[in-house]
Amino acid sequence: MPSITGYLSRYFSHEKPKPPPITTGTASALLVIYTLVYVLPFYLSSTTRPSRTLSRDAPSVIRARITSVTLTCVFCSVSTFVILTSQGHATRPDALRSMGYWPVGLAEAARSLLLTAILFVGPLYETFIVHGAWRDWLSLQPVSELFNEWTTWRNIVAGPFTEEVLFRSASVPLMLLAQTSVTKTIFLSPVIFGLAHLHHFYEFRLSHPQVPVSVSVLRSLVQLTYTSLFGAYATFLFLRTGSLLAIFVVHAFCNCMGFPRFWGRVEPLNENEDSKSKPSIMWSVIYYVLLFVGAGLWWKNLGPLTQSANELVPVKI
């Protein structure tokens, strides 16, 4: 029985490839539909729809939205699985493999996390050394927050997992089935992933009506840019490792770290914590040096740390 890997092997070989089962346009349209199915339910119910009196960070809203996106992920994943296995396009095991469920990829997840931590070595230095977060980890405070605060659970677990299930596991295999080029797969699907976050513009306007519209638009454009860039990185990792677990842990880690600092002085959160010492310029010097060193080491190890026998397609680096 034909398989996705079979289609891909012919696609990347010198043999004349057969017409793909679906087109890139069809795959992209399905991704847009998946995105709408993911976002629109938020605004169809008063339980999940934010307003001036109900924040998106309210526990009741978070719980209802997690339920909604979980059902969405199940629906979209089943849809992709049916498309992949219909008319003999792929066997069931091959479909599960292309969706990143099996093999789980524990080693791939560890290497992908290490690679991303190298890129964030500067922010890690600021967080753990300058801001003293290592003390919180000794008392396992972040773990306690994860299981006791709904916003933390959403940002670190529910959000990253459901987004990767939908925008990588359920979406990328459709691009592969359409025999879309690697470049388009890496950079086209993440744009749709980025667009899925634009609804935050409306929610931000509700909660911050005093902020000028121009500032709100700029905020959304910046968010679209970095979510699209992260989406491209996550798609690259998914193609290289074939592991849903790998991209989930990387996404969760990036949400923990937030957007890296590219300007400003690095200082302790509480300048009066030690009255005998003043914030040193060396904090900032070390940070920005590590920022560049981390970027260089990340690029150098991009190939070796993402190499896997479970790769979905050959990706040249």
In 3D space, the residue among 146, 152, 176, 144 whose CA is nearest the CA of residue 24 turns out to be 176
- The verdict on whether 163 is a catalytic residue reads yes
**89, 108, 126, 163: which one is catalytic?**
163
CA-CA distance, 153 to 286, in Å (whole number)?
32
Closest CA to 69 of 23, 106, 34: 34
267 in active site: no
Give alpha helix (H) positions in 141-262: 141-148, 150-153, 159-164, 172-177, 182-195, 199-207, 213-241, 244-257
How far, in whole angstroms, is CA 212 from its chain's centroid?
Answer: 29
The full DSSP string for 240-297 is: HH--HHHHHHHHHHHHHH-SPP-SS----S-TTSSTT----HHHHHHHHHHHHHHHHH
Active-site residue identified among 108, 126, 164, 197 = 197
> What CA–CA distance (Å, rounded) separates 229 from 186?
10
Q: Which residues are catalytic?
A: 163, 197
